[in-house]
Every structure is written in structure tokens, then in C-alpha cells.
Amino acid sequence: MTPLNRNQIAWRAAQDLPEGGYVNLGLGMPVLAANYAPSDREFMFHTENGIVGVGPVAGENEEDPDLVDAGSQKVTLRPGASLADSAMAFAMIRGGHIDVTMLGGFQVSMTGDLANWDAEVPNKGPLVGGRDGLGRWRKVGMDYHGPQYERWRASACKNLHLSSHRCRCGRSNLHRSRHH
């Protein structure tokens, strides 16, 4: 099996998104999915810093340093987009208005426990960001083929601190995909 690269995984995950859905994209590989939105469906990508309706990454002439996504990439807006502050962006998450979230993670267990905020690398600080508040929503986990691959199969998140217990994870079978 040829391993998928980061963009291929992002493309594959984007193909599963539901018509009319509001979809949060987390830091890391998930923000790449905004580049691969299927054109036969309309949905809105949400970012924790206040955008509903993120479009593709900005081209060279349309870059605006004051318009960034959760991964600090300069982005564009889709028709129908709106902008809000962080408190309202998290009200959308915590209040149950988001349908799906795509998250990066260090470890995920078979029962959906998620560890994604502290890899416990010596002299590297923790980063919890906004992912923690997303714990109860349906997730599409994304991981890169590499050293982390085997961690997906861990039966429990044994050595890293959890950010959420028993998330509802839909893994989307990303690693086994032969398409694209």
C-alpha cells in the first residue's frame, strides 16, 4: 500500500463531509481540508478564531495577514461567510451548533479517548488550543503515515494526558484508502 501524503489525507477526509454541514477544522492537517471541499455540496468550514465559511488558502495577490484560519494560514472567505470574536466562535462549538470537527491528535484509543495537547517532548511546551472544547462532537481523526501511525491502534491513551474522554470518533478509515 502506498502511504497517503498530508494533502491526500485532507482530500480524502473532505470527501465525507455532509451537505449543509458546519465543520470545524483544527490546527495541523485538518485546515488543509478547506482546499479540497467537494463542489457538489455546500457546507461551511468553522475556525476557532471566528470564521464561519473559510475558503481555500489565499493566493499570492489575495493574502491578508488579518484573515487567518486556526493554523494561522492566510485564507479566503466563501460566499455566505461571517466573522465573529473568539467567545462567540466557542459558543458555536460548546453550544452544539457544529456538526463535525476534524482534529489532529497524538493518540486516540479504540473507545475514543483523545490525547492531543501535550506530546511530553522535553523542553517543548504544551498546546491545548481550542480542540478541547470540541470533545463531544463527531470527529474525523486525521493522522499522517509515519511514526505516529501505530498509535492509532493503541487500545488506550496510556502515556499522554487526555484532552477528552470517549469522543464520538469516526475515523473515516483514512489510512486504508486507495483512492486519489
Give contact residues for other proteins (rule: CB under 8 A): 47-51, 64-73, 83-87, 89-90, 93-94, 117, 122-130, 132-133, 135-136, 161-165
Nearer residue to other proteins within complex by CB, 133 or 175: 133
Task: Quote the CA–CA distance of 109 and 115 in Å, as a whole number.
Answer: 9
Closest to other proteins by CB, 41 vs 94, is 94
Active-site hit among 48, 60, 63, 150: 48
Q: How far is the CB of 54 from other proteins (least distance, A)?
A: 10
The answer to whether 100 and 109 have CB atoms below 8 angstroms apart is: no
Contacts of 115-122 with C-beta under 8 Å, sequence gap 24+, read 115/157, 115/160, 115/161, 115/162, 115/163, 116/163, 117/161, 117/163, 118/160, 118/161, 119/160, 120/159, 120/160, 120/161
Residue 110 vs 128, nearer CB to other proteins? 128
- Which residue, 12 or 131, has its beta carbon nearer to other proteins? 131
Single-letter amino acid, residue 137 = W
Question: Is 62 tagged catalytic?
Answer: no
Do the beta carbons of residue 85 and residue 96 sit within 8 Å? Answer: no
For the bound state, the minimum distance from the C-beta of residue 170 to other proteins, rounded and expressed in Å, comes to 20
- Least distance to other proteins, CB of residue 167, Å: 12
Asked if residue 46 lies in contact with residue 23, where contact means CB atoms within 8 angstroms, the answer is yes
Amino acid at 104: G
> From the CB of 145, what's the least distance to other proteins, in Å?
20
Please list the active-site residues: 48
